[in-house]
Structure 1
Amino acid sequence: MTSRRVARVLIDSPLPQLDRLFDYAVPDDLAERAVPGVRVKVPLRSAGRTVEGYLVDLAERSEGERPLSDLEDVVSPVPVLVPALYDLARRAADRAAGSASDILRLVIPKRMVRAEKAWAAAPAPRTPEVSSDALAWAQTIIAPFPTLADAVAAGERLAVDAPPRPGAGHPAWAELLAAIAVITLAAGRSAIIVVPDHRDETHVLSVLGEQLPADAVIRDDARRSGPERYASYLRLLAPAPIVVVGNRSTVYAPASEVGAVLIWNDGDPLLAEPLSPGVHARDAALLRQETEGSALVLAGHTRTTDVERLVAVGWVHEASARRRESPTVVLSATREGESRGTRVPSAAFAAAREALANGPVLVQVARPGYAPVLVCADCRTPARCPHCAGPLRARRPGAVPDCTWCGRSAPAWSCSSCSSIRLRMASSGNERTADELGRAFPNTRVIVSDGEHQVTEIDGRPALVVATRGAEPFAPEGYRAVILLDGDRMLMTEQLRIAEACLRWWSDAAALAAPRAPVHLVGVAGPAARALATWSQAAHARAELAERAPLQMPPTVRVAAVEGAAAAVGASLRQLRDDVPTLADGAVLGPVPGEEGSVRALVRFEFSAGRAVAESLRAAVIAQALRGRRRGSVPGPRNTLRVRLDVPDLDL
C-alpha cells in the first residue's frame, strides 16, 4: 500500500478547541515548499473558510485511510517556527491551561514581504567576534562573583543579588548582565537578556554597544516598526550566536545555541504577561532552561518570594559576591518637637541640604500629580465624582477638581455625608512635593519625573529630582542623597505582595545613590524597613514565605482563577474535584459575584498537582466552547469560561 506525505498544522486561532495539530495532505505542487516551520493556509471545514497556521511536522500516511483535505498554500518559504520554539510554547501553554498559538502570536512578528526579500538577498550572518578587551572587561566585572562564570558555563539556575550602586556611567546591574552576555557570546553561544521596560533595555544596550560590534546585539521589543521586528526575528533564526535584549516575550526568542537566559528584576509586574495564557517571563525561562540546558540567571536588588522558594527547594542556587555591598540606609523619623504630620523630617531635610552642595538629590514619592486624593475638609470623607463615583483629584492649587476615572470636572461638588462644599488635599503627588521642596530650597533646579513626564537620565549638577516609584532618572555619578517618602502609605495598599513590592521600589531607588551617600526611608518601621536598612532582602523573602505557608498563599502554592457563568464555573469545579482528588478541602475559594452576572472562584493547589489541574481546567474551557457552538443551540456568548493559572494575589 502506498503512502502519502501529511502536514501536521497548528492553526493560528484563539478558539481553545483548535489548539491541537490538524492533519492535511500535501499536494504535489507544494511538496518542495511545505517544510516544517513555514506559514501555511489550510481549509477549516467547521468554519467553511481558509485560515493560516504553522506547519509543525511532516508524517507519512497510508493512502487507504480516511481522506484528508489538502494544504491550500504555503504563505512564506521561511521556516519561522523552529522545533525548539514550538516545544517551548506548547509546554508553557499546557502549564498555564492555554493555547500554544496565543504564545506564538506574542513571539513571531507578522510577515513583512520586503524585509523577507531583503533578508534572502543578504549574505548569511557570521559569528560575531568578541575582542580580547571586551572579554577582559567582562571578566573584571564578574570577578567579585567567584562562582558565577563557571556556573553559567555549566548551565545552572542562579539567583544573583546585583551590586546596589552606579557603575562606570551605567547601573552596575546592567554592566553585570552585559558582562555575562559577553562571556557567553565569546564561548560561541547566544545570550538572552529580559528586562521589564525600555529604560532598563536602554541601559543594557548602551553597555553592550560599548563592548560588542553592532551586528552582535539585537533589540527585541514592540516599539520598533513591523519591518524592523521581522528582520530581527529572521536574524534570530540564523545559525550564528547573538545577544538579544528585550521585554517579557523575548524570553521565547529562537536564538541559536542559547547559553544563558538572564532576567532582571523578576518581581516587576511588567514581566507578567497580561494576555492569555498569562505566562510569567520567569516561568517561561524556567521551562526553557529545563528543556535546553542553558544557564538561567535571575538577578535583582531584591529577592522575590518566588525565587526564594526555588532556592529553598534547591532548584535555584545562589551566586553570591565575594564582598557584600550595601548602601547607607537611615530609618528617618520625626524627632521630639516636630509635628507628626511633618513629611520630611529634619534629619532627611538636613541631609538633602548638605547633599545639594555636591550634586543631585532624589526624592521618591508614591503618586504622580499635584493632589491625587481629595477629602471633605469637615468630615474627611473621600471626595467622589458625582457621575461615576471615581476619586477626585486636584491638578494644581485652587483648580476645579476632576475625576481620575472619567476625567469630568466637579465644580459644584458637595460631600455626600455632611453636604460640605470644602475640600482638603489628603495626599501629595510628585508635582506638589516638587512645589513645596522648591520653596524650601530656593535657587535649586527641580526636576519632576513620572509616567507622563519621563526623564531617563540627569547630569551631576545639583538638582532636586522628585520622581514616582519606578520613574527615577539615572545619575551616572550617583545621587548625593536619596529620600524615600510615602512609604507608610505604600505599605497600606491591600495587596498580598505589597511589602515585597515596597522593598523592591525602595531598593531600586537606594541603588541609585553614590557610594556612602545617605538613603533616608521616612516614617516606616517593621520588617520591610529593617530589611532595607540591613540590606537583607533574601532574609525578608524567606520570612514572607514562612508566614504564607500555613495560610496556603502564593507562591507556596499555585492559584488558578476560574471566571464565567455560574453554571459553567460550577461544572468545571465539580469536574476538577473528580479529576484531582488530592485537592485539599479548602482549596476552592468562592465562587463570588463578578461583573455582568459572572462569578469567580480561586483554586489553590500544590505544585505537584499542577499538570492535572491545568488539564482539567483546559478541558472544561474546551467543553464550554464546544457547547456554545453546538448545532441547534441558542446563540450565546462565546468562551463564557475563562481560566488563568498562577494568579499572584488572592484578590477576590
Structure 2
Amino acid sequence: MPPESRRIARVLLDSPLPQLDRLFDYALPAQWGEVPLGVRVQVPLRTAGRVIDGYVVDIDTEDDADRALSEVESVVSTVPVLPERLHTLARRVADRAAGSASDVLRLVIPKRQVRVEKAWTADTPAETPDAEALVVAEETVGLYEGLGEVLDAGGRAAVEAIPQLVDGVQGWARLLAASAARMLAAGRSSIIVVPDSRDLDRLLAAIESLVPAGAVVRHDSRQSNPDRYRGFLRTLEDAACIVVGNRSAVYSPVVAGLVAIWDDGDPLLGEPLAPYVNARDAALLRQELEGSALLFAGHTRTTDVERLVVLGWLQDVRAARRVLPRVVLSTPQEMEQPTAQRMPSSAFLAARTAAAEGPVLVQVSRPGFSPSLVCAECRAPARCAHCGGPLGAKHRGAVPVCAWCGRAASAWSCPSCSSTKLRLASSGSERTADELGRAFPGVRVIVADSAHPVERVSAAPALVVATRGAEPIADGGYRAVVLLDGPRMLQAPDLRVAESCLRWWSNAAALAAPGAPIHLVGVNGAAARALATWNQAGHARLELESRAPLHMPPTTRVALVQGSASAVAGALAALNDLALPADAVLGPVPVESDDIPPRVRALVRFEYGAGARVATALRAAVVAEAVSGRRRKGRATKSTLSIRLDILEPEL
C-alpha cells in the first residue's frame, strides 16, 4: 500500500435515527492487522459527541489520506456477526418498507455474550438424517404432488397441508419436518417459521424424530440470552442446519436451501416494531435474492398467497390423494328451534355420541365466563356509572364488575329504561364449560384458553372447551368437533374477518380423528361453504375479486402516514411527482390523542409496480423531517413522522 494511502472501513451504525441509515467512512489505524467484514466495532459519532456501536460492511483503500476521517475506536469482537448476505437482505427489506436496516438487524443479531463467544468454535461437523429417517421424509414429501420438484429446483409453492394426525403429530408438522430433513441430507440448511410457541414445540417434536439434535437451531423469544446467542453463532457456520423459530427467524444468516412459513395468515407473523415487516414479505424478498425453495403451508389460504398463485408466482401444491374432513353445517330450520340456543340438536347429539368414545372439541370465541352484560329489558350494553366501561361477570350469580376501573356495580340500573336486571350477552369458555357440564353429566370438562393453557389431552372421554388458537391435541384425534360462536366471530369489523374465521375453523377441524364429524354452528355463506367443501383457496380467490374494485389489500399496497399536520403534508407532497391516481390518498384525518402538536394520519394506496418509488419518497420525507428538527435545546429530538407500509387493515 503506498505511503499516502490508507485503509477505511465503511460502517453501518446501530442507530434508530433515520438520517444515520447509511454507511459511514472511518479510518482504520495503521497498526491494526486484518479486520474481518461483519464484525462489531465502536466508532465515534462527532455530531452527538459519543461512541456508537456499528458493523463493518466493507473495507477499502483510498489515496486521499488528507480527508478528515475519524478512526474506528475499537473492534468489539472478531466474530463476523453480519455476513454480506444478511446485510443485503436487511437493506432490501428496509428499502421496501421505507425503514432502517439497523432496525431489521436488531431483530436477528442478539446481544453479545462474551462467555458464549469464547466457548464457541466454528468447526461443528455436519449432521445428516439416518437412512430410516430419510425414507420417512421421502414418503411424506411424496404425499404432495410436485413438492419434491419444488424443493430440488428452488421453486416457490403454496402447499395445502393434509389435515390429519399421525402418531400424535400433525400433518403440517410432518410436512415441514420432512422437507427440512430432505434438504439437510443434501447438505443444505432450512428455515422454518411458525407463529407461536405452541406451533414451535409441535414442529420440534416432529423434527426430532427425523434429524440429529445437533442439526436443529431454535430461535425463540423464550430462550435465555446465552442460548439465543449460541444458536445464532451456530447459524454462522458452514455446516448445514435447520433453523426453527418465530417471525424474526426468517432473517437467520444461514445459506438457506429452503424457507418455509406455516400459517402465514396468523397476525403473530407481523412484526410490531419498525419497519413492521411481515415474515411472509421478508421470505419473498429472501427467496428473490438467494434463490432458495420457498413454501407457504397452511390448512387454509390467505388472499396474499392466493394473489401470488393467480399471478403464477407460486405453484399450487396439494396432496396427491385428498381425504377431506366431514363438515356438517347447521340448517336454518335447526337454528330457528327454541331449544337450539347455541348448539342445535344435530351438533348436540353428535357431541353426546362422540363423548362416550373419546374427547370432543368445542371451539368458542372468547375466554372467561361472560365477557359482557346487557340490560335484560332493552338489551342496551351495561356500563359502569363511574367510568363508562363495560360490565362483566366472572361466574354465574357474581356481582358485575367494570372491566376498566374494577369497581363493583352492585346497585346497577339501566340509564335507558331504569331496569335493574342484567342479562349475559355472550358466553366465554368458562361459562360454556359450565353449561356443557350440566348437559353432559359424568363427562369430564376441560377448559383450554389463555388463562388455562393445555397442550395435549388423552383419548379418554372428555369435553374440551377451547378458545380459537388454544385447542390442544388429542391422542388419536377428536371424535367430534363443534365450532360455536361463528356468527359472533364474523361480526368483527375487520377487512379479513372471513379469512381469519376460515383459518380458525380449518385449524380446529384438522385436529379431528379420521371420519369424525365437524359441526359449524349458525353460519352460512361463502366461508361456511368453503369449509364444508374444504376449498379455502377458492374462498381466497373470491375475496380477492371482491377487493379489487375497492383497491383494498392485497390487490394494492397501502401505506399509513402519521405525524403532525405539517409533517404528513410534507410526506404527501413528496408523492406528487409519482403520478399516482387521483384517489390514491385518503385523508388526512385527525388522530384521537393528547399529543402536542395534534397528530393526523393518511392512507396512500398504490400498485405494486410503484412500490419502490413510493417507499423511496416516503423514506426521504422521514429523513428530511428528522433532520429539520434534530436539534432543539441542544438535544436530539424524535421525528414526529412515521411510515408503515403494507398495513392489513386500512382504516382512517
- The alignment's TM-score, normalised by the length of structure 2, stands at 0.96
1:203 aligns with 2:205: no
Residue pair 1:335, 1:345 contacting (<8 A) in 2 also = no
1:82-101 matches, within 5 Å, as 82-101=83-102
One-letter identity of the residue aligned with 1:543 = L
- Which secondary structure does the structure 1 equivalent of 2:558 belong to? strand
- Which secondary structure does the structure 2 equivalent of 1:52 belong to? strand
* Cα distance, 1:413–1:22 mapped onto 2, change above 3 Å: farther
Say which of 581, 585, 588 aligns to 2:585: 588
Q: What is the deviation of 1:324?
A: 1.9
One-letter identity of the residue aligned with 2:6 = R
One-letter identity of the residue aligned with 2:37 = P
The residue number in structure 2 matching 1:283 is: 281
Q: What is the deviation of 1:410?
A: 3.5
Residue pair 1:158, 1:318 contacting (<8 A) in 2 also = yes
Q: What is the deviation of 1:312?
A: 0.7
One-letter identity of the residue aligned with 2:647 = V
Q: What is the deviation of 1:340?
A: 7.4
Alignment deviations for residues 353-399 of structure 1 (CA, whole Å, 9 cap, x no partner): 11011110000000000001111222211122344433222111122
1:496 aligns with 2:498: no
Measure, in 1, the Cα distance between the counterparts of 2:391 and 2:119.
54
Residue pair 2:39, 2:77 contacting (<8 A) in 1 also = yes
Q: What is the deviation of 1:333?
A: 3.5
- Which secondary structure does the structure 1 equivalent of 2:209 belong to? helix
The residue number in structure 1 matching 2:16 is: 14
Q: What is the deviation of 1:335?
A: 4.1
Q: What is the deviation of 1:422?
A: 2.5
Residue pair 2:361, 2:466 contacting (<8 A) in 1 also = yes
Residue pair 1:30, 1:74 contacting (<8 A) in 2 also = no
Measure, in 2, the Cα distance between the counterparts of 1:630 and 1:404.
43
Measure, in 2, the Cα distance between the counterparts of 1:437 and 1:631.
63
- Which secondary structure does the structure 2 equivalent of 1:591 belong to? strand
1:650 aligns with 2:640: no
Residue pair 2:168, 2:473 contacting (<8 A) in 1 also = no
**Which one is further off, 243-252 or 390-399?**
390-399
* Cα distance, 1:340–1:611 mapped onto 2, change above 3 Å: farther
The residue number in structure 1 matching 2:444 is: 445
- Which secondary structure does the structure 1 equivalent of 2:166 belong to? coil
1:529-540 matches, within 5 Å, as 529-540=528-539
Measure, in 2, the Cα distance between the counterparts of 1:53 and 1:381.
58
Residue pair 2:459, 2:475 contacting (<8 A) in 1 also = yes
Q: What is the deviation of 1:130?
A: 1.5
The residue number in structure 2 matching 1:51 is: 52
- Which secondary structure does the structure 1 equivalent of 2:319 belong to? coil
One-letter identity of the residue aligned with 2:292 = S
- Which secondary structure does the structure 1 equivalent of 2:95 belong to? helix
Q: What is the deviation of 1:65?
A: 4.6
1:519-538 matches, within 5 Å, as 519-538=518-537
One-letter identity of the residue aligned with 1:643 = I
* Cα distance, 1:224–1:387 mapped onto 2, change above 3 Å: farther
Q: What is the deviation of 1:637?
A: 5.8
Q: What is the deviation of 1:105?
A: 0.5
Measure, in 2, the Cα distance between the counterparts of 1:205 and 1:640.
43
Q: What is the deviation of 1:408?
A: 4.2
- Which secondary structure does the structure 1 equivalent of 2:474 belong to? coil
Alignment deviations for residues 562-598 of structure 1 (CA, whole Å, 9 cap, x no partner): 01111111121112123x12x1111111111112321
One-letter identity of the residue aligned with 2:583 = G
One-letter identity of the residue aligned with 1:280 = N
1:497-516 matches, within 5 Å, as 497-516=496-515
One-letter identity of the residue aligned with 1:95 = R
One-letter identity of the residue aligned with 2:646 = D
Measure, in 1, the Cα distance between the counterparts of 2:58 and 2:382.
61
**Which one is further off, 334-343 or 306-315?**
334-343
- Which secondary structure does the structure 2 equivalent of 1:46 belong to? coil
Measure, in 2, the Cα distance between the counterparts of 1:226 and 1:429.
37
1:492-641 matches, within 5 Å, as 492-578=491-577, 580-581=578-579, 583-594=580-591, 595-596=593-594, 597-630=598-631, 638-641=638-641
Instruction: State the aligned residue count.
Output: 645
- Which secondary structure does the structure 1 equivalent of 2:183 belong to? helix
The residue number in structure 2 matching 1:295 is: 293
Residue pair 1:334, 1:346 contacting (<8 A) in 2 also = no
Measure, in 1, the Cα distance between the counterparts of 2:414 and 2:600.
33
Measure, in 2, the Cα distance between the counterparts of 1:95 and 1:530.
37
1:367 aligns with 2:366: yes
Measure, in 1, the Cα distance between the counterparts of 2:403 and 2:92.
41
**Which one is further off, 331-340 or 618-627?**
331-340
Alignment deviations for residues 236-270 of structure 1 (CA, whole Å, 9 cap, x no partner): 10110001110000001111x31101100000000
Measure, in 1, the Cα distance between the counterparts of 2:339 and 2:25.
72
Residue pair 1:170, 1:476 contacting (<8 A) in 2 also = no
1:62-77 matches, within 5 Å, as 62-77=63-78
1:101-140 matches, within 5 Å, as 101-120=102-121, 124-140=123-139
1:332-351 matches, within 5 Å, as 332-333=330-331, 335=333, 338-339=337-338, 342-351=341-350
Q: What is the deviation of 1:167?
A: 1.9
1:421 aligns with 2:420: yes
- Which secondary structure does the structure 1 equivalent of 2:41 belong to? strand
Measure, in 2, the Cα distance between the counterparts of 1:424 and 1:333.
27
Say which of 259, 265, 268 aligns to 1:267: 265
Identity %: 61
Alignment deviations for residues 419-478 of structure 1 (CA, whole Å, 9 cap, x no partner): 433321100001000000000001111000111111011111110000000000011310
The residue number in structure 1 matching 2:475 is: 476
Measure, in 2, the Cα distance between the counterparts of 1:406 and 1:350.
42
Measure, in 2, the Cα distance between the counterparts of 1:397 and 1:335.
30
**Which one is further off, 552-561 or 449-458?**
449-458
- Which secondary structure does the structure 2 equivalent of 1:549 belong to? helix
Measure, in 2, the Cα distance between the counterparts of 1:275 and 1:188.
34
* Cα distance, 1:606–1:175 mapped onto 2, change above 3 Å: same
Q: What is the deviation of 1:29?
A: 3.9
Measure, in 1, the Cα distance between the counterparts of 2:239 and 2:621.
43
Measure, in 1, the Cα distance between the counterparts of 2:32 and 2:404.
55
* Cα distance, 1:411–1:105 mapped onto 2, change above 3 Å: farther
**Which one is further off, 418-427 or 140-149?**
418-427
The residue number in structure 2 matching 1:142 is: 141
